[in-house]
Amino acid sequence: MEENPSTEFLENFLLNYTGGEIKLLQTYYNEGIALLCINHVEKRNAITGKMLVDLRNCVLELEKWENGKAVILYGEGIAFSSGGDLNFARTENNPTSGFYMSYYAHDTLKRFRKLPFVTVSLVHGPALGGGAELAVYSDYVIVADDVKLGFVHGKMGIVSAWGGTTRLMRIVGERKALEMVLTSKIYSAKECLDLGLAYKIVNSSIKLAETLNFVRALTVHDYSIIQSNKNVTNFVSENSFEKSLDIEREQFYPKWGSKLNKEALDKRIKHVQNKN
C-alpha cells in the first residue's frame, strides 16, 4: 500500500466508480452564498468515487472565491445522502481500498473545513453512514422535519470513513458522540436538536428557503469581516483536529473488507423502513 498516495493516483482509482455528481450552483453568488449540491437521486444520493472527486473539485473552486460568504451543502430528491456507494463498498472490499478512499476524502474535507466561509448542511430524509459524516462537517447543521440521521457504520462492520466521529465529538461532546456511533441509532429532527447536533429544524416543504434566510441573517457583514472571523475560528485546535482524523483513518481502513464488513454487505441493506 502506498502510504502517501498522490492525488492523481487516487483520482484514477476513484473515477472507476461513476454515477451521480456533486456540483456548485452559483444561483446566489451575488449574495455571497454558494450551493453545493449532492445529486445521485436514484441511489438516494449515495456517494460514488466520481462524486468524491467532484466534491474535491468544488472545494478547490471555492478556495479561489474571493468575496464569498457562505456555502450550503444539500441533497437533491428525497435524501440528503445514503452514504458511501455500496457498489464501491462491495467491489473494493479490502483495507487498501478503504485507506485510499478515506485518505482522499479526509484531505478534501479538511480543505472544506478550512474555507473562510460560513458552512451549513441542510439535511433532510436519510443521512446515513458517510451521509451523516458529510452532514456534520459544516459549521451549522440544519435539519428538515423529515430527517433520519444515523452513524450506522457499526452495523456495517466498520467505523466512520470520512472523519465524521472527530467532527461529531466536537459538536455534541464525547459521551453523546460515543452513544451515537456505538448504537447506530437513527435520529429524528427533534432528537438531533436535543442532542445539539442540529442548530435548527426547518419545514421540509420550504427547507431551502428557510435555510437561505438563516444564512442571510448570519452574513449581513462585509465578506472580509466574515472571512476574518472564520479564519480565526478555523484555526482554533486545527492541529488536534488533523491528528484525530489520522487516528480515525487508522481505525477505519483495516475494517474495510473485514469478516464483519463482508457479512453486512452480503445482506440486503435497509437501515430505515418505509412506513407504507
x-or-dash string of contact with ligand 1VU, 137-176, rule CB under 6 A: ---------------xx--x----x---------------
With respect to ligand 1VU, which residue has the nearer C-beta, 4 or 274? Answer: 274
Residue 129 near residue 152, CB atoms below 8 Å? yes
Smallest distance, ligand 1VU to C-beta of residue 258, A: 13
Q: State which of residues 83, 98, 116, 150 lies at the interface with ligand 1VU (CB under 6 A).
A: 83
Residue 106 binds to ligand 1VU (criterion: CB under 6 A): no
Q: Measure the CA–CA gap between 197 and 177, rounded to whole angstroms.
A: 10
Size of the site for ligand 1VU (CB under 6 A): 23
Q: Which residues pair with 72 in a beta bridge?
A: 35, 120
Residue 50 binds to ligand 1VU (criterion: CB under 6 A): no
Smallest distance, ligand 1VU to C-beta of residue 101, A: 8
With respect to ligand 1VU, which residue has the nearer C-beta, 53 or 70? Answer: 53
Residue 269 binds to ligand 1VU (criterion: CB under 6 A): yes
With respect to ligand 1VU, which residue has the nearer C-beta, 68 or 130? Answer: 130
C-alpha cell belonging to residue 6: 498522490
Residue 14 near residue 54, CB atoms below 8 Å? no
With respect to ligand 1VU, which residue has the nearer C-beta, 81 or 219? Answer: 81
Smallest distance, ligand 1VU to C-beta of residue 143, A: 16
Which window, 165-173, 177-185, 210-218, 268-276, contacts ligand 1VU (CB under 6 A)? 268-276
Smallest distance, ligand 1VU to C-beta of residue 29, A: 31
Q: State which of residues 75, 126, 150, 163 lies at the interface with ligand 1VU (CB under 6 A).
A: 126
Which window, 38-46, 167-175, 230-238, 243-251, contacts ligand 1VU (CB under 6 A)? 38-46
Angle at 110 between CA 246 and CA 176, to 5 degrees: 70
Binding site for ligand 1VU (CB under 6 A): 43-44, 46, 79, 82-87, 126, 128-130, 152-153, 156, 161, 269-272, 274
